[in-house]
């Protein structure tokens, strides 16, 4: 029998955190094995999540109160589930009654993979459509004088997609690699500012 770990994420509400911790305790997770993260949903720096994922061994279980406490998107959730499965561990989400060790849980994982693939295609489709529209309007491409919020958002979405490469994103958006990484840094800085404001 493996070990039971818990992961809890909260942005501002202490009440929400208490609900999560109580549910994890009732599921049998020792409070000492619960990893608590104070971060907004858009924050990409999940130190505690990384710590608990690195600890997982075969037959271990990672309990979360709800899937939206674990991941920021379907793509991100699929990445986490795949990492857990590769380690021989399982994911249990209490609110949705999902356990990836069961047939229904494995079915959910398959559906999640399909949804993530659809989300990936939609991201690329929206990006390409935006570029095409901009070209029709004779918008100037290349290094922008200022990183616009839409450009930063598109770079972050592409960065979250493991199937999208940096060269492909630069080609589709019509930007240089240096602009790509500048937009990525700007997006991460915005995430940190959101966390500070929420605290």
Q: What is the reported pTM?
A: 0.58
CATH fold of 4-109 reads Rossmann fold (3.40.50)
* Identified catalytic residue from 11, 176, 178, 182: 11
Cα distance between residue 108 and residue 105, in whole Å:
5
CB 63 within 8 A of CB 9: no
Q: How far is CA 199 from CA 47, 188, 194, 196, in A?
A: 17, 17, 9, 5
Cα distance between residue 183 and residue 174, in whole Å:
13
Is 11 among the residues known to form the active site? yes
Of 91, 124, 72, give the one whose Cα is nearest residue 4: 91
Which stretches does DSSP call E strand in the chain? 4-10, 34-38, 61-64, 90-93, 98-99
pLDDT in tens, 79-88: 898 899 999 9
Cα distance between residue 95 and residue 26, in whole Å:
12
CA atoms within 13 A on the CB side of 114: 6
pLDDT at 136: 66
CB 174 within 8 A of CB 142: yes
Query: For the chain, which residues make up each domain, given as ranges?
Result: 4-109, 117-198
Cα distance between residue 116 and residue 110, in whole Å:
10
pLDDT at 194: 41
Counting as low any pLDDT under 70, the low residues of the chain are 12-15, 40-45, 113-123, 129-146, 189-199
pLDDT at 131: 65
Question: For 73, phi and psi rounded to 5 degrees?
Answer: -160, 170
């Amino acid at each position: 029998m493996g070990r039971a770990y818990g992961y809890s994420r909260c942005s501002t509400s202490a009440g929400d955190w208490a609900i999560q911790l109580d549910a994890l305790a009732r599921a049998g997770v020792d409070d000492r094995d619960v990893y608590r993260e104070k971060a907004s949903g858009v924050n990409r720096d999940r130190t505690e999540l990384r710590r608990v994922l690195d600890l997982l061994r075969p037959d271990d279980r990672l309990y979360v109160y709800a899937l939206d406490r674990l991941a920021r998107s379907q793509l991100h959730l699929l990445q986490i589930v795949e990492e857990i499965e590769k380690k021989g561990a399982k994911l249990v989400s209490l609110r949705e009654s999902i356990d990836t060790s069961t047939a229904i849980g494995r079915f959910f994982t398959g559906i999640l993979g399909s949804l993530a693939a659809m989300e990936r295609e939609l991201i690329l489709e929206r990006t390409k459509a935006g570029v095409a529209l901009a070209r029709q309007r004779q918008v100037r491409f290349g290094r922008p004088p200022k990183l616009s919020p839409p450009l930063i958002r598109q770079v972050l979405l592409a960065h979250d997609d493991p199937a999208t490469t940096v060269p492909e994103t630069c080609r589709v958006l019509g930007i240089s690699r240096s602009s790509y990484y500048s937009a990525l840094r700007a997006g991460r800085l915005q995430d940190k500012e959101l966390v500070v404001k929420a605290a």
